[in-house]
Amino acid sequence: MVKIGVLALQGAVSEHIRSIEACGAQAITVKSKSDLALVDGLILPGGESTAMRKLIDRFEMLEPLQQFAAAGKPMFGTCAGLILLAKKLVGYDFSHISVLDAKVERNSFGRQVDSFETSLAIKDIAEDFPAVFIRAPHIVGVGEDVEVLARFEGKIVMARQGYLLGCSFHPELTADHRITAYFTEMVEDSLALTVNI
């Protein structure tokens, strides 16, 4: 059984845990470097990216997270997690984990009161995914190795680069586990590749 961690410093952690377990994988809360060493893949949940970064720094997790990605282990960022993964942020001269070759703009779809749900077509996953957008970012542009998986009103809202996956919305806030299942397969593929080398 693959072990998928959820960065549990802030944000929608329990919802991701439930979705991982629904997909038949083992879910592990990750709060430290030692926790990170236990997992085969990692989800960075939605929440507040500034608060998350402060906690990442406080617990000295930034370099271990970057090393996790550099080792080719799958990472999936949702909403604030997407912001943490991106190499570039609109309006900022710094980034966070900085591994996904994408430029991201924060709060692209309005404030909390402007939250909405829409049916989204996602390449290789679903024609009708119930995507929940809450103070969501969007991807302004991507590098040549990044595949765009979904757009909403012309804006990129989901993309993949190798074993890195990011989306603007909150798949964990629905009863639809197809995106988590897709990430679980990414983790399984990564482990199979490691075994075969």
Catalytic residues: 79, 170, 172
Instruction: Give the CA count within 13 Å in the CB-facing half-sphere of 159.
Output: 28
Lookup result for tokens 């995507």 = 131
Residue 123 near residue 149, CB atoms below 8 Å: yes
∠ CA(85), CA(151), CA(81), 5° rounding?
Answer: 20
Cβ burial of 133 (10 Å; 0-12, 13-18, 19+) is: buried
Taking Cα atoms as reference points, which of 142, 191, 194 lies closest to residue 39?
191
At 194, list the tokens: 């490691």
- Alpha helix (H) residue ranges in the chain: 13-22, 33-36, 49-58, 62-70, 80-85, 178-196
Residue 12 near residue 47, CB atoms below 8 Å: yes
Q: Which residues contact 77 (CB under 8 A, 6 or more apart)?
A: 43, 44, 83, 84, 85, 100, 165, 166, 167
